[in-house]
């Protein structure tokens, strides 16, 4: 019978810095996300905090790069700025950093809202006020602000 390797032994385990670097090699992570994953992986708070500080210092972990990755991905999926803002907050990014990311984003939110309407409802304009309300609610749930939603639903009517 073959024995499985016991990965719980401290001597065989990577240190928190190396484990964090390994996670960052696959994709960007926020500091909050890395902290949670490392602590759940059995690393103590002090080692985790030290690893996070060093990963940031060495340029491997960046909240700005992480935020940019999330922003690009969600914008490409058709989500609006409110949805992106909420997700970035949930990852622990500061409001000032989120504001800067959204201001610098090269995203035409109005065009994105119109595209989402076309994808969901086709090219036909809303039949009545109730249908327009359904379409507006759809865009609001996707994270577009009221002015963008109003413009998109009225532009659809005017086309």
Residues 49 and 89 placed together within one structural domain of the fold: no
In a domain, 9, yes or no: no
Residues 18 and 46 placed together within one structural domain of the fold: yes
Q: Which of 104, 127, 108 is nearest to 116 (CA)?
A: 108
46, exposed or middle or buried, with CB in 10 Å at 0-12, 13-18, 19+?
exposed
In a domain, 4, yes or no: no
pLDDT in tens, the chain (159 residues): 444 444 444 446 689 999 999 999 999 999 999 999 999 999 999 999 999 999 999 999 999 999 999 999 999 999 999 999 999 999 999 999 999 999 999 999 999 999 999 999 988 888 888 999 999 999 999 999 999 999 998 876 555
Cα separation, 38 vs 44, in Å, equals 8
Residue 158 is predicted with a pLDDT of 53
Secondary structure element (H or E) that encloses residue 122, with its range: none
In a domain, 1, yes or no: no
In a domain, 92, yes or no: yes
Residues 117 and 148 placed together within one structural domain of the fold: yes
Residue 7 is predicted with a pLDDT of 45
In a domain, 113, yes or no: yes
For residue 33, what are the domain limits? 14-57
In a domain, 6, yes or no: no
Number of domains in the chain: 3
Residue 14 is predicted with a pLDDT of 83
* CATH number (domain holding residue 152): 1.10.10.10
Residues 116 and 144 placed together within one structural domain of the fold: yes
Residue 1 is predicted with a pLDDT of 45
In a domain, 28, yes or no: yes
Residues 91 and 114 placed together within one structural domain of the fold: no
**Using an 8 Å Cβ cutoff, are 61 and 34 in contact?**
yes
């Amino acid at each position: 019978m073959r024995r499985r390797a016991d990965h719980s032994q401290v001597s065989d385990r990577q240190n928190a810095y190396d484990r964090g670097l390994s996670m960052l090699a696959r994709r960007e992570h926020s500091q909050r996300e890395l902290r949670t994953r490392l602590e759940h992986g059995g690393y103590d708070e002090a080692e985790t905090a030290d690893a996070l500080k060093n990963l940031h210092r060495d340029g491997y972990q960046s909240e700005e790069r992480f935020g940019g990755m999330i922003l690009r991905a969600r914008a490409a999926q058709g989500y609006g700025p409110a949805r992106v803002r909420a997700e970035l907050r949930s990852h622990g990014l500061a409001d000032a950093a989120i504001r800067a990311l959204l201001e610098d984003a090269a995203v035409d939110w109005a065009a994105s809202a119109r595209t989402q309407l076309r994808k969901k409802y086709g090219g036909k304009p809303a039949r009545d006020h109730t249908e327009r309300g359904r379409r507006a609610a759809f865009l609001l749930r996707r994270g577009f602000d009221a002015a963008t939603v109003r413009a998109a639903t009225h532009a659809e009517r005017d086309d």
